[in-house]
């Protein structure tokens, strides 16, 4: 037989397409209506291609073209490629937040992988939540899998200047509000930002998670950085189509790639690239699916000796296209050297530092990827994990996006129970805030504002903008876009909506932030907090049916990755019973 599987390996697809009698006929006959040649059911590996794209998810809209390249490779290697859609999550358009659906995508994809006659899968993702969602699904079925992200958009270009996805939206908004940019110029800039297929080209969550997929060993080298429109991304996809067939034949599973070592590498790489705070939540959730012990404090402990090497927006100057031409993630991995587990396994079959070993990971632009002995930001200045009586289960702050002068700060709280409550007064010239005020924004956590949206970096009150204030301390149980910046304490856990201490803060309370000391403190004595706690009543449920109800009833806090409690872990891929 021309496409025999490895000796002794009975592929799971044989339980469908290799079945005798009525069952086999049912499984094969309807597939034949697509015009496949007779011998595609000869026992060759069946490769699913999970496409998380649609016209409602613009960052992923081109993934079906990448799927075509994957198919070429699968056919060449003697496999049968079958493309299928999974939830497409468009970060910018979905309300109340795409994050509300990450776990639903993960659940949908997991069930599709298990229920269908697939021996392995190529996961095509791009926009923020699609990468973690698909990795969670792959982890929970543990079928051979490989990821290809869709790649970043070309650099934004506005009047000779590079502009970055998201980052410049916040910048331009502040410029317009401060009267330094006209509405007309801002409207023109809008057309200059998103110029090609692809996801955000800042080091936002999509670029971060693409790098995480590569650092975990699930995406081939350079996969995170080729621009979406670069021909080499399509060549990589074709190679990956060949490679997934090998992974199936060799029975290499995600659990043997996404190990504790791989997660330690990912956490360190995230520090080196100045990655999004959202990576914390997503990596915790993926690790939870695999049973890999990974804790919030690991993100601080493992990153403390890792400097930030990349000078990319939102913290720095450059964009993903520059990062690609400077050498891509393999150059960062080469620079980190022994700070990583260099022998960690990857989907290529080689170790994570294989490009470096082969001399294929030089840096071509030291402005973009800085050397480790002359980094962009010193070690220990990445995402810090804070604790204290205001965040007993932890909170995070992205130091590189913060104003250094605010990293140790004590100020009076001005509390808002929702972003809407804040926006209603943000333009008020008499708002009772000054530059030292700590804006406390609550009820934005996983169940309080279902999905824990990226609302924490509320823009500064107009009164302070008019005074020339550019940053202030904000404390919130929600998230912040990976493209955003500011001294914003995020992911405060437990969240206010479940009775976390954030719910007890009142206007005028003193809040202390001590990032070097890793502390977030509410300077109110315990007796008073007890009295407030006794008087606290939980908010009314946000939904009495449907997905939102299931989500709110079962979502874990941010320090556990905001997965649903019943989705943690893996169920494998076995489905012993017939469908007819």
Helix, strand or coil, per DSSP, at residue 479: coil
Instruction: Confirm if 511 and 390 have CB atoms less than 8 A apart.
Output: yes
Name the residue nearer to ligand FES (CB basis): 165 or 348. 165
> Of the candidates 362, 369, 281, which has an alpha carbon nearest to the alpha carbon of residue 323?
369
Distance CA 472, CA 469 (A): 8
Q: Is 66 buried (19+), middle (13-18) or exposed (0-12) by CB count in 10 A?
A: buried
Rounded to the nearest whole angstrom, what is the least distance from the CB of residue 362 to ligand FES in the complex? Answer: 28
Rounded to the nearest whole angstrom, what is the least distance from the CB of residue 562 to Mg ion in the complex? Answer: 14
Helix 130-141, helix 102-115: angle, nearest 10 = 40
Rounded to the nearest whole angstrom, what is the least distance from the CB of residue 91 to ligand FES in the complex? Answer: 4
Name the residue nearer to Mg ion (CB basis): 146 or 484. 484
Distance CA 218, CA 481 (A): 24
Name the residue nearer to Mg ion (CB basis): 279 or 336. 279
Return the residue of 481, 487, 521, 570 that touches Mg ion, per CB under 5 A. 481
Residue 124 interacting entry, from Mg ion, ligand FES, none, C-beta within 5 to 8 Å by type: none
Name the residue nearer to ligand FES (CB basis): 59 or 513. 59
Q: Report the 10 Å Cβ neighbour count for 405.
A: 9
Work out the angle at residue 257's Cα, subtended by the Cα atoms of residues 251 and 261, and round it to the nearest 5 degrees.
Answer: 150
Distance CA 188, CA 342 (A): 46
**SS3 of 231-284:** HHHHHHHHHHHHHHHHHHHCCCCHHHHCCHHHHHHHHHHHHHHCCCCHHHHHHH
Residue 342 makes CB contacts below 8 A (sequence gap 6+) with 351, 352, 353, 356
**Residues 82-121 interacting with Mg ion (rule: CB under 5 A):** 91
Rounded to the nearest whole angstrom, what is the least distance from the CB of residue 129 to Mg ion in the complex? Answer: 8
Residue 165 interacting entry, from Mg ion, ligand FES, none, C-beta within 5 to 8 Å by type: ligand FES
Is position 128 an interface residue for Mg ion (rule: CB under 5 A)? yes
Listing DSSP states for 194-207 in one string gives: --SSSB--SSSHHH
Rounded to the nearest whole angstrom, what is the least distance from the CB of residue 164 to Mg ion in the complex? Answer: 13
Rounded to the nearest whole angstrom, what is the least distance from the CB of residue 190 to ligand FES in the complex? Answer: 14
Rounded to the nearest whole angstrom, what is the least distance from the CB of residue 280 to ligand FES in the complex? Answer: 18
Name the residue nearer to ligand FES (CB basis): 40 or 154. 154
Residue 106 interacting entry, from Mg ion, ligand FES, none, C-beta within 5 to 8 Å by type: none
Residue 199 interacting entry, from Mg ion, ligand FES, none, C-beta within 5 to 8 Å by type: ligand FES
> Of the candidates 385, 427, 378, 423, which has an alpha carbon nearest to the alpha carbon of residue 404?
378
Name the residue nearer to ligand FES (CB basis): 204 or 450. 204
Residue 206 interacting entry, from ligand FES, Mg ion, none, C-beta within 5 to 8 Å by type: ligand FES
Tokens for 261? 């070592």
Name the residue nearer to ligand FES (CB basis): 205 or 381. 205
Kind plus residue range of the DSSP H or E element containing 474: strand 474-476
Name the residue nearer to ligand FES (CB basis): 88 or 415. 88
Q: What is the dihedral of CA 135, 139, 140, 143, to 10 degrees?
A: 110
Site size for Mg ion (CB under 5 A): 4
Name the residue nearer to ligand FES (CB basis): 97 or 259. 97
Helix, strand or coil, per DSSP, at residue 369: strand
Chain residues that interact with ligand FES, rule: CB under 6 A: 59, 91-92, 127-128, 165, 199-200, 204, 206
Name the residue nearer to ligand FES (CB basis): 206 or 464. 206
Residue 354 interacting entry, from ligand FES, Mg ion, none, C-beta within 5 to 8 Å by type: none
Residue 142 interacting entry, from Mg ion, ligand FES, none, C-beta within 5 to 8 Å by type: none
Which alpha helices (H) appear in 51-147, and where do they start and end? 63-76, 102-115, 130-141
Residue 200 interacting entry, from ligand FES, Mg ion, none, C-beta within 5 to 8 Å by type: ligand FES
Kind plus residue range of the DSSP H or E element containing 322: helix 320-326
Residue 227 interacting entry, from Mg ion, ligand FES, none, C-beta within 5 to 8 Å by type: none
Residue 59 interacting entry, from ligand FES, Mg ion, none, C-beta within 5 to 8 Å by type: ligand FES
The residue ranges of DSSP E strands in 300-453, in sequence order, are 383-388, 391-398, 408-416, 438-441
Distance CA 551, CA 193 (A): 34
Rounded to the nearest whole angstrom, what is the least distance from the CB of residue 54 to Mg ion in the complex? Answer: 18
Rounded to the nearest whole angstrom, what is the least distance from the CB of residue 109 to ligand FES in the complex? Answer: 18
Name the residue nearer to ligand FES (CB basis): 92 or 554. 92
Rounded to the nearest whole angstrom, what is the least distance from the CB of residue 59 to Mg ion in the complex? Answer: 10
Name the residue nearer to ligand FES (CB basis): 129 or 491. 129
Helix, strand or coil, per DSSP, at residue 421: helix
Q: Which stretch binds Mg ion (CB under 5 A): 44-52, 204-212, 214-222, 338-346?
A: 204-212
> Of the candidates 13, 50, 401, which has an alpha carbon nearest to the alpha carbon of residue 208?
401
Return the residue of 205, 342, 348, 447 that touches Mg ion, per CB under 5 A. 205
Residue 318 makes CB contacts below 8 A (sequence gap 6+) with 162, 310, 311, 312, 367, 368
Residue 94 interacting entry, from Mg ion, ligand FES, none, C-beta within 5 to 8 Å by type: none
Rounded to the nearest whole angstrom, what is the least distance from the CB of residue 136 to ligand FES in the complex? Answer: 18
Rounded to the nearest whole angstrom, what is the least distance from the CB of residue 189 to ligand FES in the complex? Answer: 17
Q: Which residues bind Mg ion (CB under 5 A)?
A: 91, 128, 205, 481
């Amino acid at each position: 037989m021309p496409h025999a599987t490895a000796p002794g390996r009975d592929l799971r697809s044989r339980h469908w397409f290799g079945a005798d009698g009525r069952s086999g006929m049912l499984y094969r006959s309807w597939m034949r209506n697509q015009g496949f040649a007779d011998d595609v059911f000869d026992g060759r590996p069946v490769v699913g291609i999970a496409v998380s794209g649609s016209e409602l998810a613009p960052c992923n809209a081109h993934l079906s073209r990448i799927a075509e390249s994957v198919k070429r490779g699968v056919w060449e290697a003697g496999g049968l490629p079958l493309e299928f859609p999974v939830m497409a999550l468009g970060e910018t358009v979905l309300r109340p937040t795409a994050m509300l659906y990450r776990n639903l995508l993960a659940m949908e994809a997991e069930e599709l992988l298990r229920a269908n006659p697939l021996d392995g899968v190529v996961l095509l993702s791009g926009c923020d939540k699609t990468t973690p969602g698909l990795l969670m699904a792959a982890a929970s079925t543990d079928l051979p899998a490989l990821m290809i992200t869709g790649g970043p958009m070309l650099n934004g270009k506005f009047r000779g200047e590079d502009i970055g996805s998201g980052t410049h939206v916040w910048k331009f908004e502040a410029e317009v509000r401060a009267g330094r940019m006209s509405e007309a110029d801002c409207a023109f800039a809008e057309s200059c930002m998103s110029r090609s297929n692809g996801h955000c080209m800042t080091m936002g969550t999509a670029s971060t998670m693409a790098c995480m997929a590569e650092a975990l060993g699930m995406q081939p080298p350079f996969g995170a950085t080729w621009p979406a429109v670069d021909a080499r991304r399509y060549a990589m996809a074709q190679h990956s189509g060949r490679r997934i067939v090998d992974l199936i034949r060799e029975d290499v599973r995600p659990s043997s790639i996404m190990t504790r070592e791989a997660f330690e590498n990912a956490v360190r790489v995230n520090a080196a690239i100045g990655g999004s705070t959202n990576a914390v939540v997503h990596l915790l959730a993926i690790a939870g699916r695999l049973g890999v012990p990974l804790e919030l404090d690991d993100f601080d402990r493992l990153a403390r000796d890792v400097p930030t090497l990349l000078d990319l927006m939102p913290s720095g100057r450059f964009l993903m296209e520059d990062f690609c031409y400077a050498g891509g993630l393999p150059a960062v991995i080469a620079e980190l050297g022994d700070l990583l587990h260099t022998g960690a396994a990857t989907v290529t079959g080689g170790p994570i530092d294989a490009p470096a070993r082969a001399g294929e990971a030089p840096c071509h632009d030291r402005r973009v990827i800085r050397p480790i002995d002359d980094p962009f930001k010193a070690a220990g200045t990445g995402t810090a994990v804070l604790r204290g009586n205001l965040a007993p289960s932890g909170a995070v702050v992205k130091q590189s996006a913060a104003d250094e002068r605010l990293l140790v700060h004590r100020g009076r709280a001005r509390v808002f129970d929702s972003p809407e409550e804040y926006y209603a007064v943000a333009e008020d010239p008499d708002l009772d805030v000054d530059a030292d005020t700590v804006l406390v924004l609550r009820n934005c956590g996983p169940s309080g504002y279902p999905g824990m949206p990226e609302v924490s970096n509320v823009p500064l009150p107009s009164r302070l903008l008019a005074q020339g204030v550019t940053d202030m301390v904000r404390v919130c149980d929600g998230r912040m876009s990976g493209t955003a910046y500011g001294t914003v304490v995020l992911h405060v856990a437990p969240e206010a909506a479940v009775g976390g201490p954030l719910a007890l803060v009142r206007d005028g309370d003193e809040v202390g932030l001590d990032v070097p000391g890793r502390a977030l403190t509410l300077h109110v004595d315990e007796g008073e907090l007890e009295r407030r706690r006794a008087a606290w009543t939980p908010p009314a449920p946000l939904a009495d049916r449907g997905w939102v109800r299931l989500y709110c009833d079962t979502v874990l806090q941010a320090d556990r990755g905001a997965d649903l409690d019943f989705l943690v872990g893996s169920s494998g891929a076995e489905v012993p019973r017939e469908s007819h």
